[in-house]
Amino acid sequence: MRYLLIVVAFLNISFANEFYAKLEPVESFQIKSSVSGKVIFSNNKIEGKRANNTKIIEIDSYVDRIDLEQSRAKLRAVNEMMKIEEKNYNRLLKVTSKSGFEKDNQKVKVINFRTTKSDIQIKIANLKDSIKNKKLVEKSNYIYNINVKKGDYVNPGTLLYESKDLSRGKLEIFVPISDIEKIKNKKIFLNGKVTDLNISKIFDVADSKHISSYKVEIIIDNPKTFSRLIKIEFK
């Protein structure tokens, strides 16, 4: 009976240091539209593949580009007129026969042109930002799901697609608070094989669901496959 109790106790200790988790990408992204417009391109062929500086979604920016061109032309005109009015104002200041009222009127003209210039500059910046945000390109992430198709109309906040960073994977396990100190300095074994991995992060606040455990995160660089169940042991 004593031998049996010792074996049971040993099994309980081993089990406390053995966990299972699914290997997931370290980061997942939901790309949402920040602008309104009609989708003119949706790259469905890249869905389920890694991007390589690949255009994923494009939203119609024709009107924005015309508006940008005209706004730049307007800004050039305003700059020319403002220079003329500033010269007139500087000349007027030197003319002693001109009243203060006339000088103030000329000053107001200069101020109005400066205000108009600032407004156009802000509009140009907003248009450039809008055009940029209507063409979405992914550098290297895995494109998990494309949520819109050509011809759809989107508004700010519309989910366009989801992508995942496959350069690193993470394992998340929930370790009883009483066992945290026991595993900190132990070797990590994955599926029975020793690794040189370390615990990446311990969330030292009890989990909302696993109220007597801390969440522990292990990061793996360049994993070959994802979404597979892995046995994790600390020995």
User: pLDDT of 179-195, one tens digit each?
Assistant: 999 898 899 999 999 99
Examine the pLDDT at 146 and tell me if it is beyond 60.
Answer: yes
**Lowest mean per-residue pLDDT among 18-22, 96-100, 104-108, 161-165:** 96-100
Per-residue pLDDT tens for 31-74? 999 999 999 999 999 999 999 999 999 999 999 999 999 999 99
What is the pLDDT confidence band of residue 207, given thresholds at 50, 70 and 90?
low
* Alpha carbon distances (Å) from 26 to 57, 74, 93, 167: 24, 48, 67, 8
Q: What integer pLDDT is reported at residue 194 of this predicted model?
A: 94
The third-level CATH classification (topology) of the domain covering 19-59+139-234 is: OB fold (Dihydrolipoamide Acetyltransferase, E2P) (2.40.50)
Per-residue pLDDT tens for 65-116? 999 999 999 999 999 999 999 999 999 888 888 888 888 999 999 999 999 9
Of 137, 142, 131, nearest to 57 by C-alpha is 137
Tokens for 16, please give them. Answer: 């406390």
Kind and range of the H or E run holding 18: strand 18-22
Q: Which is it for strands 201-203 and 54-59: parallel, antiparallel or unpaired?
A: unpaired
Examine the pLDDT at 5 and tell me if it is beyond 70.
Answer: no
